[in-house]
Amino acid sequence: MRDVPPVSAIRKSTRPIPSERKLVSIVREIRRLSRTITMPLERELKRAGCPPLESYEVLREIHESGDGRLTTVELQIRLSVPGHRLSRLIDRLAKDGYVGREKATSDAGPTS
């Protein structure tokens, strides 16, 4: 567990809270930068016949889970990806042989 300072050690910020307009501007710039970086990478992956970048995020989460078994709900929470999109990604990864799908023993949904 990380060392976390006690609440008394945390100082209140005296800086003003950014306006909603400023926050929207910051988010917009982050998204623009993200596209600037990921679009060329996605093109190169496609050219090389590799899965899309999102697939690598799914595979990384599965790998980091320890035993390699996660439900789609767990993956959806970890990646903040809508269920329908995640399901398509997992279907593609399973079709290409990167992951296997199993029936879950609970109502949590299929595992990956």
CATH of the domain at 87: 1.10.10.10
d(CA 86, CA 81): 6
**Both 59 and 89 in a single domain?**
yes
Q: How confident is the model at residue 51 (pLDDT cuts 50, 70, 90)?
A: confident
Does pTM surpass 0.75? no
Number of domains making up the chain: 2
What letter would DSSP give residue 81? -
**Both 72 and 111 in a single domain?**
yes
pLDDT digits (tens, 9 = 90+) for 58-111: 999 999 988 878 888 999 999 988 989 999 999 999 998 999 888 877 655 555
Q: What are phi and psi of 111, to 5 degrees?
A: -95, 160
Cα 76 to Cα 27, 54, 71: the distances in Å are 22, 12, 9
**Both 111 and 63 in a single domain?**
yes
Q: Which of 10-19, 37-46, 102-111 has the lowest mean pLDDT?
A: 102-111
**Both 40 and 57 in a single domain?**
no
| Residue 31, in any domain of the structure | yes
What domain range is 70 assigned to? 53-112
Question: Token digits for 41?
Answer: 């990478």
